[in-house]
């Protein structure tokens, strides 16, 4: 039986190699459209990354501890909202199509940035916009479902990893350009101009989206959306992750990695402001440096590294470096150590696209939207804990009259990153014991 299976696999590999070029050519147009809309959709958010925390700090009277606590409460509340909406959005993308839902998100972004442009000096307005505007970040649920659709049309693991890698590279490019530009515009022209520029980009996105070939869902009849309360309850939709033990382990691994990143992001600006005296300009330059490393590593490394190490060790290697780079941040004594932490952590970027590629092929093509919504929802269910824990730790350890160690949240995130490694090892071990090797959804 083993010999027969080996011969069959060789025949399949030969057929795959002969058609790989055709598969890639068929998906190139859709892939380019998805990458464009991802970059443009993320650009306003990237412009605001180094600026919005400064506006919150100013609204809190420059008190870092108070701003940290407010940011923690807002971040936790926004995480709950995303957790409730995410699986519903995934179901909508399967029922109504990716492009339609994407248009709703762009319209929501227009509303968010317009309110910010009008009321950015009011603390209550910043809190409200962050809560309502949390839906805008769900653009990734839709675009990741699109990439999942496209990876379902190719058979080679390296090609799948390459698609996810290009997706990450676009995100990295926007992160390289957006924060740098946002910080510079904030210093030169003030926050009002920048916020209205973000609004203008959102308007362009909403106008251009209908013109792009973005409907990547597999050709099939689209089911009618059930608007009953039972259908819109997001929690049962998570059951798709529990259909297979290895799938829930992989999803948890990804969610916990993102949880650590979320905790870091919730206190990053306040940490750098407290420790190094950084403002929007310095934050923008640093985030742009992170974006460059993300663009290069996710765009170039996943395919070659997967072909050398295999998917299992590619993911684990990336997660190990994720843990290490948080440790460097926790021990940083100057701004230069933050850049050292980014350089040390470059290999961490190979983990996410490879892990997402493995997760995406665990279900049938017509369930990609539901899967991405469920994966995102799992992350969002955990996400409220990240800003709450990180912001509380920062508020406690940034007071001059107590134990002064603002790097405490970074150390906690480094410890947290050990869990995804164990989950990934367990997922692949279970699959290998079953002789499946995480290759297909059957």
| Tens digit of each residue's pLDDT (9 = 90 or more) over 264-293 | 888 888 888 888 888 888 888 888 888 788
Residues 6 or more apart in contact with residue 304 via CB below 8 angstroms: none
Q: Where are the beta strands (DSSP E) in 33-163?
A: none
pLDDT of residue 434: 44
Q: Is the distance from CB of 407 to CB of 399 less than 8 angstroms? A: no
Q: Which residues of 272-303 are buried (b: 16+ CB within 10 A; e: fewer)?
A: bbbbbebbbbbbbbbbbbbbbbbbbbbbbbbb
Residue with more model confidence, 436 or 376: 376
Strand, coil or helix: what is 290?
A: helix
Cβ atoms within 10 Å of 213's Cβ, excluding its own? 11
Measured at the CA of 88, the angle between CA 84 and CA 94, to 5 degrees, comes to 155
- Taking Cα atoms as reference points, which of 54, 356, 90, 335 lies closest to residue 225? 90
Q: Which pLDDT belongs to residue 304?
A: 79
Over residues 178-182, mean pLDDT? 84
pLDDT tens digits for range 287-326 = 888 878 877 776 677 677 777 888 888 888 888 998 998 9
Q: Are 343 and 329 in contact (CB under 8 A)?
A: no
**How would residue 7 be classed by pLDDT, with cut points 50, 70 and 90?**
very low
Cα distances from 162 to residues 194, 213, 214, 300, 342, in angstroms, run 34, 21, 19, 8, 22
**Dihedral sign, CA of 6, 12, 18, 24?**
negative
Chain centroid to CA 43: 14
H/E element, 254: helix 245-276
Mean pLDDT to the nearest integer, 14-28: 50
CA neighbor of 266 nearest in space, from 172, 142, 395, 399: 395
């Amino acid at each position: 039986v083993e010999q027969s299976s080996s011969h069959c696999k060789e025949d399949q590999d030969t057929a795959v190699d002969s058609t790989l070029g055709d598969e890639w050519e068929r998906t190139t147009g859709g892939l380019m459209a998805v990458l464009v809309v991802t970059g443009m959709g993320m650009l306003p958010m990237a412009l605001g990354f180094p600026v919005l925390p400064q506006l919150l700090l100013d609204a809190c009277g420059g008190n870092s501890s108070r701003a940290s606590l407010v940011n923690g409460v807002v971040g936790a509340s926004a995480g709950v909202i995303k957790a409730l909406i995410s699986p519903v959005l995934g179901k909508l993308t399967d029922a109504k199509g990716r492009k339609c839902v994407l248009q709703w998100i762009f319209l929501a972004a227009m509303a968010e940035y317009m309110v910010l442009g009008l009321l950015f000096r009011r603390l209550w307005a910043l809190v409200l916009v962050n809560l309502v505007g949390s839906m805008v970040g769900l653009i990734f649920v839709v675009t990741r479902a699109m990439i999942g659709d496209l990876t379902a049309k190719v058979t080679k693991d390296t090609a799948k990893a390459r698609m996810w890698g290009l997706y990450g590279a676009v995100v990295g490019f926007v992160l390289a350009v957006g924060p740098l530009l946002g910080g510079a515009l904030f210093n030169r022209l003030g926050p009002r101009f920048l916020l209205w520029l973000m609004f203008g980009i959102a308007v362009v996105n909403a106008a251009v989206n209908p013109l792009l070939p973005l409907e990547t869902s597999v050709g099939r009849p689209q089911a009618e959306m059930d608007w009953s309360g039972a259908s819109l309850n997001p929690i049962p939709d998570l059951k798709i992750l529990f259909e297979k033990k290895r799938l829930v382990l992989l999803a948890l691994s990804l969610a916990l990695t993102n949880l650590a990143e979320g905790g870091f992001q919730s206190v990053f600006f306040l940490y750098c402001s407290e420790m190094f005296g950084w403002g929007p300009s310095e934050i923008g330059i640093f985030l742009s440096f992170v974006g460059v490393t993300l663009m290069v590593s996710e765009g170039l490394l996943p395919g070659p590294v997967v072909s050398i190490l295999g998917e299992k060790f590619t993911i684990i290697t990336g997660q190990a470096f994720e843990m290490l780079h948080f440790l460097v941040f926790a021990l940083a004594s100057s701004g230069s150590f933050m850049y050292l932490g980014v350089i040390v952590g470059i290999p961490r970027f190979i983990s996410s696209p490879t892990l997402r590629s493995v997760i995406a092929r665990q279900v049938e093509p017509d369930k990609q939207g539901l899967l991405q919504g469920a994966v995102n929802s799992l992350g969002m269910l955990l996400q409220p804990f990240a800003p709450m824990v990180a912001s509380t730790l920062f508020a406690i350890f940034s007071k001059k009259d107590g134990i002064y160690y603002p790097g405490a949240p970074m150390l906690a995130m480094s410890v947290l990153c050990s869990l995804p490694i164990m989950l990934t090892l367990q997922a692949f071990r279970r699959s290998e014991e079953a002789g499946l090797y995480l290759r297909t959804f059957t």
